[in-house]
Amino acid sequence: MADAERVTARQRAILTAVVESYIETGEPVGSGTIARLQRGDVSGMSPATIRNEMAELADEGLLEQPHTSAGRVPTARAFRMYVEQLSGGANPRIGAALLPARSRRQIDSSFVGLAGMQAVLERTSHVLATLSSGVGVAIAAAAEGEMLEHVHFSRLAPARVLAVMVTRSGMVRDRVLSLDRDLTLIELETAANFLNENFRGWSVERVRAEIARMLEQERSEYQRLLNAVQQLWGKAVPESDVPVQAIYVDGVANLLGSQGIGGNEDRERLREVLAALEEKQRLIELLNAYIDTRQESVRVIFDLEEQAPEMAGLVLIAAPARMGNESRGTVGVIGSKRMHYENTMNAVGYIAQVFDRMLHPIE
């Protein structure tokens, strides 16, 4: 990283101390505060030396001074460098195994006696909210959906049709449909042929979306066929049958505390944040945009506003939860930049890695 190449070891130690002091107090940090810490990395440095180095860090865009007489606060770039330093180096502080034993016991005991993926995900969001003082989020992996193998329509009576759908897995689903208008035997056969020739091997969700797209584009006799297909398919596979991605959210009230949201924040801005957190589909899109289910490591995202402007100033720490090679969902925390990164990253990583053990007795 370019920032890290320009920062000396001494400046890095001071920057780490500033970030951790700011996380702890929420107040601008002065050179005297760092000098009094008496911690190994900055021990023995004079306030004057620290002040000069902090001025250099400010010139690099890693610290800023909110008021003329105040101390310094870390910028977003400083937080990013801090997180990278936690994860890398000769002695990384991030890794599921580095979570304190007390926290591991707390997590393990929280999942005792649970049965089923829904219960585990719901408890996960609560545990992460409690450990991080942020918003705990857990989403189930998107269902692949049933793949169409064959569909057949039989006319039973005027405006009544028997639909039989066979999936690639061999499941047979039949349903009696009440239509808005009567369809002839030829129309039913043509509709079935159209679906079987064009959509065999497609998920039922994709079939619905593609038919809707084609209807938007076509303005001809072809549309009469598409209208019939859409009516038949819509009633044979209603939207309620399409699997949805479950999401569990806990700890929204934590953002109202002293961790950087609320207090001095504009009330309208706060309402936007809370509304976004309550709109669960928005959160699903947010996590899916940033977290690749194929990755194994915990990821920290500072630029949430690129996907959701109302999330500006918040940070996402998340990881995919896996069982063997199969993704079972995503777990994470949304909080302010002043969250405790080390503990939160380790907790997210630990829960993501032990999903297999949590669910093993019930699979």
| Rounded Cα gap, residues 124 and 247, in angstroms | 11
CATH architecture designation of domain 148-241: 2-Layer Sandwich (3.30)
Whose structure tokens read 């005991």?
Answer: 109
Residue range 142-169: mean pLDDT, rounded: 82
Task: Output phi, psi for 29, to 5 deg.
Answer: -110, 130
Indicate the SS3 state at residue 201: coil
- What pLDDT, on a 0 to 100 scale, did the predictor assign at position 38? 65
pLDDT band, residue 18 (cuts 50/70/90):
very high
| pLDDT for residue 1 is more than 60 | no
- Average pLDDT rounded to a whole number, residues 218-247: 73
Residues 83-136 pLDDT 10s: 988 887 656 777 777 888 888 898 989 888 877 777 888 899 999 999 888 899
Judged on CB neighbours under 10 Å (0-12, 13-18, 19+), 1 is exposed
Mean pLDDT of the 157-167 span = 89
Percentage of the chain beyond pLDDT 70 is: 83
Average model confidence (pLDDT) across the chain: 81
- Is residue 211 predicted with pLDDT exceeding 50? yes
Q: How far apart are CA 38 and CA 33, in angstroms?
A: 10
CATH 3.30.390 residue spans of the chain: 148-241
**Residue 81 is which amino acid?**
M
- The CA-CA-CA angle for residues 102, 107, 113, to 5°, reads 130
Q: Is the pLDDT reported for residue 240 higher than 80?
A: no
Rounded to whole angstroms, the Cα distance separating 55 from 62 reads: 10
359: Cα separation from own chain's centroid? 21
Q: How confident is the model at residue 361 (pLDDT cuts 50, 70, 90)?
A: very low
Residue pair 245/143 in contact (Cβ under 8 Å)? The answer is yes
C-alpha span between 347 and 353 (Å, rounded) = 10
For CATH 3.30.450.40, list the domain ranges present in the chain.
96-142+245-362
Dig out the tokens for 352 from the structure. 């993501």
Q: Quote the CA–CA distance of 149 and 201 in Å, as a whole number.
A: 6
Domain with CATH 1.10.10.10 in the chain: 2-87
Provide the pLDDT for residue 309: 82
H or E, element range at 226: helix 222-236
- pLDDT band at 318; cut points 50, 70, 90: very high
Q: Reply yes or no on domain 96-142+245-362 having CATH 3.30.1330.40.
A: no
* C-alpha count within 13 angstroms, C-beta hemisphere, residue 77: 14
User: Residue 196 has what pLDDT?
Assistant: 93
2-87 in CATH: which number? 1.10.10.10
Question: What's the average model confidence in pLDDT over 14-27?
Answer: 90
Two tokens at 202? Answer: 């497609």
pLDDT band at 69 (very low <50, low <70, confident <90, very high): low
Q: Note the pLDDT of residue 41.
A: 73
Q: Is the pLDDT of residue 47 over 90?
A: no
In this prediction, residue 173 carries a pLDDT of 79
Pairwise pLDDT comparison (24 vs 40), residue with the higher score: 24
pLDDT at 325 over 90: no
- The most confident of 65-69, 145-149, 151-155, by mean pLDDT: 151-155
pLDDT (0 to 100) of residue 262: 44
Q: What is the token pair recorded at 74?
A: 């870390």
Read off the pTM.
0.68
Contact 320, 291 (CB under 8 A): yes
User: Above 50 in pLDDT, residue 261?
Assistant: no
Identify which of 212-216, 298-302, 351-355 has the greatest average pLDDT.
298-302
